[in-house]
Amino acid sequence: MERNLLKNKIEYGIGMICFILVCILVLAPMLLMVVNSFKSNSEMLRNDSGLPEVWTLESYKSLFTTYSSLVKHFYNSIIISIISTICGTFICTLAAYAFAKYKFRGRESIFYVLLATLMIPSEVIIPGQYLFFAKLKLINTLAVQILPTIPAVVGVYMIRQYMLGIPTSLIESAKIDGAGHMRTFVTIIIPSAKPIISSYMILHFLDVWQNYTWPLLVATKQNIMPIMVSLPTLVDSVIGFVPVWGTIMAGSVLCSIPLIIVFLLNQKAVMESVILGSIKG
Amino acid sequence: MTKKITLVLLVAFVCFGTLFAAATPEKEGNPSIEMLMWGGADRLNYLKTIYEKTTSLSSNEMANITFTSGGTGATDSYQLFRLKLASNDAPGIVFFGGETAATEFIMNGDILNITSEVKDQMNDILPSAVDLASYKGEVYGLPTQVKSKVWYYREDLFREAGINVGEIKTFDDFYSAGMKFKEHFPEKYFINLGPTPNVDVVIGWLGSYDNLTIADEAGNFRITTDPRFRDMYEKLYKLATAPFSLYVSDWDSDWQPNIENGTIASLLSWSWMTEFLPSYAPNQSGLWAITAWPEEFGYGGCAELISIPTATSNKAASVEVLKTLYLDSDGAVLRFKENGLLPVTYSGVEKVNAAVADIAATASSTSPLGYFGTGMVDDIFATMKYATKYNSDPSFNAEEAIIENHLNLMITGIETIDQAIANTQKDLIMQVGNPYDI
Amino acid sequence: MKVTNIREKIIPYLFLSPFLVFFLVFFIYPALNSFYISLTSYKGYGQAKWVGWKNYHAILHYDVFWTGIRNVLTYWVLHAGVMMIISFTMAFIVSSPKYQKLSRLKVILFLPRVIAPTVAALIFRAVFSSNGLFNTVFGVTIPWFQNDTLTKIVVAIILVWRDFGYWFVVFVAGMTSVNPEIIDASIVDGATTMQRIFRIIIPLMKNILKFALIIDGISSLRLFSIPNIIVGQPGALSPTSIGPVMNLLVQNIQQGSFGRASAVGWLLFIMISILTVIQMTAVRDTEDL
C-alpha cells in the first residue's frame, strides 16, 4: 500500500512536470516575441534571444513613424475580418436555422452536398476565384479579401448542430404569440443560440485574420494590404536593407495580443465550438 | 464583464485604425501614373523627386507618381504585371528586371512601341542601350542603364595574395587564382556560389557564350544537343564545389553578413551591385575595385527595361514621365548621385563626367562615388564594351526558372551533371512545350 | 389558405438563400470555372486555348510537383506523431481527476492557435537563428536555416507548437466521453497507468486518433505560409527542396499560367479525397469490430 502511494506520488509528479514543461515550451516563443519587441532594430541583429540590453519603445514608435503603413495594414485586417465575421455569421445562422428547424424539400440533400464540398479545400479554387474577381475588376480591393471568406459551410454545420438542441416548443409558443418567422428568428433563435454564435464569430474572425495565401495573391497594393501579408515583407534582405526585426516583433505583438485577449475572455465557448466543429466524420 | 471588455476592445480597434487610416492626399486633376517595379518603395521614391525636379511641366500638369512593388526580386515585377493585365489593371509604367523578361510581353502585344516617341532623342541614346531596349528593330522602352557583368573584388586582399585581375583571362586562370587566394587566406573565400543560382547568374553565364539560345528557331530545345550547355553546367558545378567558393547564394540572408565581415573577397556580379555594395559593407569603403568578368566568360549584358503597357489608360502622360526620368540629362546626374547608375544618353554621360568631381567632393564614403572612388565611372564604362544582348525567346521566363531549378539540384548533389542536363531538357519539353507558342 | 401555404413553403428557402447565393457565386462557380480552366492554357487575359489533359500530364511529369509532395509528406511524418503523442499525453494528464486544478490552465495550450502562422514563422526565426534562443539555451551552434533537413525540422516544430493545442482540446473531449466507470473498474483491478492508457483509453479513442491523423495529413497538404516565410520573404519561393506542393499552385498563378495552377489545385483535391476515403474506411472498419 505504502509502495503504491509512493508510486502514485511519483506518477503525479511526472505528470505535473510534463504539463509545466509543455506550458513553458508553449509560452516561451510568445514571451520571446514580447521581449524582442522592446529591443531596438539594431539590437535585434546582435541579440535576438536574450533580455534587451536597453528596454526601449523604439520598435513600437517605428510602427507609427517609419513603418506607419503597418498600422494602416492592421486597420485593413480589422475591417476585413470584422465585416466578414458579421456577414458570415449572419448568413450562416440564417441557413443553419433553416436546416435545423424547418422541413422542406431537398433539406437533406442540400445539407449533405454542402458537407461534401468541405472536401474541396479553398486553395483548389483560388485560380478560378482569381479570374472571377479579375473579371469583376475587384482585384486589389478590400472587397476581394472579404467576399470569398463570407460563406463557410463549417459555420452552418456548427450552428445547426447547436440549434438542433433548441426545443421546438420554444419556437411554436412564439408562433402562437403571433410572431412572424423573422421575429422568431431574432427574438427566440438568436438569443438561445448565442453561445455558439459568439464562439463561431471568434473562430471565423481568427480564420480570416490569419488568412495568408489568398490575400497574398489579390492584395498587392500597399493601401489595401492586410498586415499578415505586409509583415513578412519587412524581413527582406534583398533590397539592400537590413531586416528590421524589432519592428517586425512589435508588429507581431500588435496583431497577436488583442486576439489573445479576446480569446482568453471567451475561451470556454471557443474551445467547445472547436470540438463541435472538429468531429463531423 | 467579458462582453464589455470585448466590446471596448473592438471599439478601440476601430477608433485606433481610423486615426491612422487617413490615406495620403493626392493632387486632384493631375494624371496618376502607377509605376510597377520591384524592391522596396523607399529605394525608388527618389525617382519621384527627380521627376518633379526635372520635368518641364508646371506643377498642376505634373503626373502624380505612385509606386507598386511586385516583391523583392527582379522577377516579381513582371509576375505582378501579368496578374495586373489579367485583372484589367495595367500600370502606367512597368519595370522589367531584365529585357529578356519583356520578350514575352512584347511578342504578345502588351508593350507599347515607343519608336516614334523617342525618334528625336535617338541620336543621343547610347547604341547599346537602344539595342537592349529593342525587339526586331522597334523600341519598346528605355533602359535605366546598360547592365554589364562586373567583377567586384577586394583590391587589398587580391594584392596581398598576389593576384592580378588583368592576367586572368580564362576559366582555368580564374580557378587557379581562386586556389592561390585560398592558400593565402584559408579563412576567406574568393567568391560565393551557393545552392540557388538566380536569374542574374543564369543570364550571366548563358550570355558569355556566343549566341547560345535555349531553343532553336523551330522551337527545339538545345540543352542536350549543344555542348556549350554542358560546359556551362560543368563550370558552375566546379565553381560551386571549389574550396575557394563560399557556399552561399547571392541575396541569401547570409550573403550580406559575409561581405560585411570580409569573408567574401570578390563578387561575380553585375554593374547594379555598385548601388548595393556601399550599404552592404560600409566598413570597406575604398577597398573594392571594379573590373569586367574574365574574358572567356566575360560577354553578356542586359538592361533593366522600363516600358509602357499598351493597356494603360494615360499613354501620353506615361511617355512624358518615362522620357523625363531617363532621357533628361539633369535627371541622369541626380540618378547617378543617388545610386551610381550610369546614364544611357551621351548628354547624360557628358554631364555626369563633368559633375563627377563636384559630386565626389561632397560624397559620403557610403555613396557609390565615395565608396569606389572617381575612377568608377571609367571602370564601369570599360566593362560595358562586353555588354551584348542575350537573344531570348518569349518563354524565357519559364525556361530560366527550369534551368535555375536543375542547377540547384546539381549543385546540391541531388542530380549529377548528366542528370541535370537531361532533366532540364525533359522539363523544358514537358513544361514549356514550344517556346514560341504563347 | 393556399397562398399562406406557398408562403410557408418558401420561408425556409428564403432563410437559406443568402448563404446559398454567396456559396454558389464565390465557391461553386469558381470551383467549376477552375476545373474548366485546368483543361486550357490561359494567362488570365487574351484567349484561353483548349489543351485537354495536357496540364495534368505536364504536372505529373514535373519533378517539382513530386518534390512538393515529398516535402509535404516529410513535414507530416516529422510532426504528426510527435504532436499526437504530446496532445494525447497532455489530454490524459488534464482529464484525469487527480489534476483537476490544471483544467483551468488548459487554455494555455490552445493559445498558439490564436497566433497566425505568419507571425509564428516570424517569431521562430528568432528562436532558431544562429545566435537564437535554442542555440543559446542548449549551448550549441546548429545552423538551422543553412540545411534543408534542419529547416524542415524547424517547420515541423512550428507545426507541433501551433497545432497540438487544437488536438489536445479534441482529445480532452474524447476522453471525457470515455465512461469513467470503466476506468474506475480498471483501477480497482490494479491496472497500471500505462496499462490503462494502452488497453482501455487508446482502443476507445481509436477513431478520434485516426481522424486526427488524417485531418492533420490533409492540412499538411495545404501547408504554405510557414515554410516559405521561415526561409525567405513573403510569397512562394522558387522551387527549392523545402517548398510544399502549394508553392507550385501559387507560382503558377504568379507566372500567369492559370491552367496549370488549377490543375495543381485539382490534383491536390484528388489527394485529399483519397485521404478522406481512407479515413472513412478506417473508421468504418473499427466500427464493425
Q: Is residue B376 assigned to a domain?
A: no
Compute the average pLDDT of residues C277-281. Answer: 82
Residue A247's domain comprises: 67-278
- The residue ranking higher by pLDDT, C126 or B308, is B308
Arithmetic mean of pLDDT over chain A:
86
Mark whether C49 and C76 lie in a shared domain: no
Q: What is the pLDDT of residue B187?
A: 92
Q: What is the pLDDT of residue B14?
A: 58
In percent, the amount of chain B with pLDDT more than 90 equals 29
Q: Is residue B54 assigned to a domain?
A: yes
Mark whether B282 and B306 lie in a shared domain: no
Instruction: Assign B5 a pLDDT band (cuts: 50, 70, 90).
Output: low
Shortest Cα–Cα distance, B14 to chain A (Å): 7
Mark whether C146 and C270 lie in a shared domain: yes
Q: Is A253 left (phi over 0), alpha (psi -120 to 50) or beta?
A: alpha
Residue pair B26/B64 in contact by the 8 Å Cβ criterion: yes
Residue pair A206/B54 in contact by the 8 Å Cβ criterion: no
Mark whether C149 and C230 lie in a shared domain: yes
User: Burial code of C44-59, b = ≥16 C-beta within 10 A, e = fewer?
Assistant: bbeebeebeebbbebb
Asked if B89's CB is within 8 angstroms of A137's CB, the reply is yes
Whether the pLDDT of residue A148 is over 90: the answer is yes
Q: Which residues pair with B95 in a beta bridge?
A: B306
Whole-number Å distance between alpha carbons of A221 and A70? 13
Number of domains into which chain B is organized: 2
* Interface size between B and C, measured as CB pairs under 8 A: 58
Angle at B341 between CA B338 and CA B343, to 5 degrees: 115
Residues 6+ apart with CB under 8 A from C282: C210, C214
Compute the average pLDDT of residues B221-235. Answer: 94
Q: Is residue A4 assigned to a domain?
A: no
Q: What is the pLDDT of residue B370?
A: 85
Tell me which of C20, C40, C55 is where a domain ends. Answer: C55
Do strands B93-96 and B245-246 pair parallel, antiparallel, or not at all (unpaired)? unpaired
- The residue ranking higher by pLDDT, B31 or A55, is A55
Q: What is the pLDDT of residue B40?
A: 64
Q: B398 — contact with chain C (CB < 8 Å)?
A: yes
Angle at C110 between CA C106 and CA C111, to 5 degrees: 115
Q: Which residue has the cell 503504491?
A: A4
Q: Is residue B288 assigned to a domain?
A: yes
Residues 6+ apart with CB under 8 A from B350: B329
Tell me which of B315, B338, B368 is where a domain ends. Answer: B368
Q: What is the pLDDT of residue B20?
A: 47
The CATH number assigned to the domain holding A139 equals 1.10.3720.10
Q: Is residue A11 assigned to a domain?
A: no
Whether the pLDDT of residue B25 is over 50: the answer is no
Mark whether B422 and B277 lie in a shared domain: yes
Asked if A22's CB is within 8 angstroms of C109's CB, the reply is yes
Do strands B301-307 and B93-96 pair parallel, antiparallel, or not at all (unpaired)? antiparallel
Q: Is residue B235 assigned to a domain?
A: yes
Q: Is residue A271 assigned to a domain?
A: yes
Mark whether C240 and C157 lie in a shared domain: yes
Mark whether B202 and B108 lie in a shared domain: no
Shortest Cα–Cα distance, C19 to chain A (Å): 5
Residues 6+ apart with CB under 8 A from A7: none
Whether the pLDDT of residue B2 is over 70: the answer is no
Q: C197 — contact with chain B (CB < 8 Å)?
A: no
The ipTM is 0.90
Q: Is residue B383 assigned to a domain?
A: no
Q: Is residue A138 assigned to a domain?
A: yes
Compute the average pLDDT of residues C178-201. Answer: 77
Contacts of C111 in chain A (CB under 8 A): 26-27, 30, 260, 263
Measured in residues, chain B has a length of 438
Whether the pLDDT of residue C266 is over 50: the answer is yes
Instruction: Assign B11 a pLDDT band (cuts: 50, 70, 90).
Output: low
Q: B401 — contact with chain C (CB < 8 Å)?
A: yes
Mark whether C158 and C185 lie in a shared domain: yes
Q: Is residue A239 assigned to a domain?
A: yes
Q: What is the pLDDT of residue B27?
A: 46
Q: C10 — contact with chain A (CB < 8 Å)?
A: no
CA–chain centroid gap for B67, Å, is: 18
Residue pair A239/A158 in contact by the 8 Å Cβ criterion: no
Whether the pLDDT of residue B181 is over 90: the answer is yes
Whole-number Å distance between alpha carbons of C75 and C77? 6
Whether the pLDDT of residue C245 is over 50: the answer is yes
Supply the DSSP string of chain A, one letter for each residue.
-HHHHHHHHHHHHHHHHHHHHHHHHHHHHHHHHHHHTTS-HHHHHH-SSS--SS---HHHHHHHTTTTHHHHHHHHHHHHHHHHHHHHHHHHHHHHHHHHH---TTHHHHHHHHHHHTTS-TTTTHHHHHHHHHHTT-TTSHHHHHGGGS--HHHHHHHHHHHHTS-HHHHHHHHHTT--HHHHIIIIIHHHTHHHHHHHHHHHHHHHHH--HHHHHH--SGGG--HHHHGGGGG--TTSPPP-HHHHHHHHHHHHHHHHHHHHHTHHHHHHHHHHHH---
Residue of C nearest to A44 (CA): C126
Residue pair A59/A216 in contact by the 8 Å Cβ criterion: no
Mark whether B155 and B289 lie in a shared domain: yes
Instruction: Assign B359 a pLDDT band (cuts: 50, 70, 90).
Output: confident
pLDDT tens digit sequence for B410-435 = 998 889 999 999 999 999 998 888 88
Measured in residues, chain C has a length of 289
Residue B118's domain comprises: 32-146+302-368
Residue pair B376/B369 in contact by the 8 Å Cβ criterion: yes
Shortest Cα–Cα distance, A29 to chain B (Å): 22
Whole-number Å distance between alpha carbons of B130 and B305? 11
Q: Is residue B315 assigned to a domain?
A: yes
Supply the DSSP string of A121-165, one letter for each residue.
-TTTTHHHHHHHHHHTT-TTSHHHHHGGGS--HHHHHHHHHHHHT
Amino acid at A33: M
Mark whether C153 and C280 lie in a shared domain: yes
Distances in whole angstroms, Cα of residue B294 to Cα of each of A97, B46, B162, B201, B246: 75, 34, 17, 15, 19
Q: What is the pLDDT of residue C134?
A: 86
Asked if A278's CB is within 8 angstroms of C215's CB, the reply is yes
Mark whether C48 and C92 lie in a shared domain: no
Mark whether C144 and C263 lie in a shared domain: yes
Mark whether C96 and C135 lie in a shared domain: yes
Whole-number Å distance between alpha carbons of A178 and A151? 32
In the Cβ-directed half-sphere of B89, how many Cα atoms lie within 13 Å? 23
Contacts of B21 in chain A (CB under 8 A): 72, 75
Q: A268 — contact with chain B (CB < 8 Å)?
A: no
Q: What is the pLDDT of residue B29?
A: 67
Q: What is the pLDDT of residue B419?
A: 94
Contacts of B41 in chain A (CB under 8 A): 222
Compute the average pLDDT of residues C40-54. Answer: 87
Which residues 73-112 in chain A show a CB within 8 A of chain C? 90-92, 94-95, 97-99, 102-104, 107, 110
Q: What is the pLDDT of residue A76?
A: 92
Asked if B427's CB is within 8 angstroms of C62's CB, the reply is yes
Q: C171 — contact with chain A (CB < 8 Å)?
A: no
Instruction: Assign B41 a pLDDT band (cuts: 50, 70, 90).
Output: low
Q: Smallest Cα–Cα separation from B369: which of B413, B338, B401? A: B338
Number of domains into which chain C is organized: 2
Which residues 129-148 in chain C show a CB within 8 A of chain B? 145-146, 148
Tell me which of C55, C71, C91 is where a domain ends. Answer: C55
Whether the pLDDT of residue C289 is over 60: the answer is no
pLDDT tens digit sequence for A33-42 = 999 999 888 8
Q: A210 — contact with chain C (CB < 8 Å)?
A: yes
| Residue B253 DSSP one-character state | T
Mark whether B405 and B256 lie in a shared domain: yes
Mark whether C48 and C86 lie in a shared domain: no
Mark whether B285 and B330 lie in a shared domain: no
| Residue B342 DSSP one-character state | P
Whether the pLDDT of residue B21 is over 60: the answer is no
Least confident interval from A58-72, A214-228, C104-118, C227-241: C227-241
Instruction: Assign B24 a pLDDT band (cuts: 50, 70, 90).
Output: very low
Q: Is residue A46 assigned to a domain?
A: no
Number of domains into which chain A is organized: 1
Q: Which residues pair with B306 in a beta bridge?
A: B95, B142
Arithmetic mean of pLDDT over chain C:
85
Contacts of A139 in chain B (CB under 8 A): 83-84, 87, 89
Amino acid at B279: S
The closest CB to that of C44, out of B85, B404, B405, belongs to B85
Q: What is the pLDDT of residue B428?
A: 93
pLDDT tens digit sequence for A206-246 = 999 999 999 988 888 888 889 998 888 887 644 455 678 88
Q: C49 — contact with chain B (CB < 8 Å)?
A: no
Helices in chain C by DSSP H: which ranges?
A: 2-23, 29-37, 54-60, 63-95, 106-110, 117-128, 133-138, 148-176, 180-188, 193-195, 202-221, 225-231, 246-254, 258-288
The CATH number assigned to the domain holding C153 equals 1.10.3720.10
Compute the average pLDDT of residues B232-248. Answer: 93
Asked if A11's CB is within 8 angstroms of C26's CB, the reply is no
Measured in residues, chain A has a length of 281
Mark whether C48 and C171 lie in a shared domain: no
Q: Is residue B207 assigned to a domain?
A: yes
Angle at C240 between CA C238 and CA C245, to 5 degrees: 85
Compute the average pLDDT of residues A177-188. Answer: 84
Distances in whole angstroms, Cα of residue C224 to Cα of each of A123, B209, C243: 10, 39, 8
Mark whether C79 and C21 lie in a shared domain: no
* Backbone dihedral angles phi then psi of residue A204, each to the nearest 5 degrees: -65, -45
Asked if A128's CB is within 8 angstroms of C31's CB, the reply is yes
Compute the average pLDDT of residues B60-77. Answer: 77
Mark whether B164 and B310 lie in a shared domain: no
Q: Is residue B377 assigned to a domain?
A: no
H/E run at residue B35 = strand B32-37
* Backbone dihedral angles phi then psi of residue A46, each to the nearest 5 degrees: -85, -40
Whole-number Å distance between alpha carbons of B80 and B95? 11
Whether the pLDDT of residue A106 is over 60: the answer is yes
Residue C22's domain comprises: 2-55
In percent, the amount of chain C with pLDDT more than 70 equals 93
Residues 6+ apart with CB under 8 A from B265: B153, B154, B157, B158, B181, B185, B188, B189, B190, B191
Those chains having 3 or more beta-carbon pairs within 8 angstroms of chain C are A, B
Q: Is residue A34 assigned to a domain?
A: no
- The residue ranking higher by pLDDT, A230 or B38, is A230
Asked if A140's CB is within 8 angstroms of B89's CB, the reply is yes
Q: B13 — contact with chain A (CB < 8 Å)?
A: yes
Which residues 149-208 in chain A show a CB within 8 A of chain C? 150-151, 153, 156, 181, 185, 206
Contacts of C45 in chain B (CB under 8 A): 85-86, 88
pLDDT tens digit sequence for A107-134 = 999 999 998 888 888 888 999 999 999 8
Mark whether B293 and B306 lie in a shared domain: no
The CATH number assigned to the domain holding B198 equals 3.40.190.10
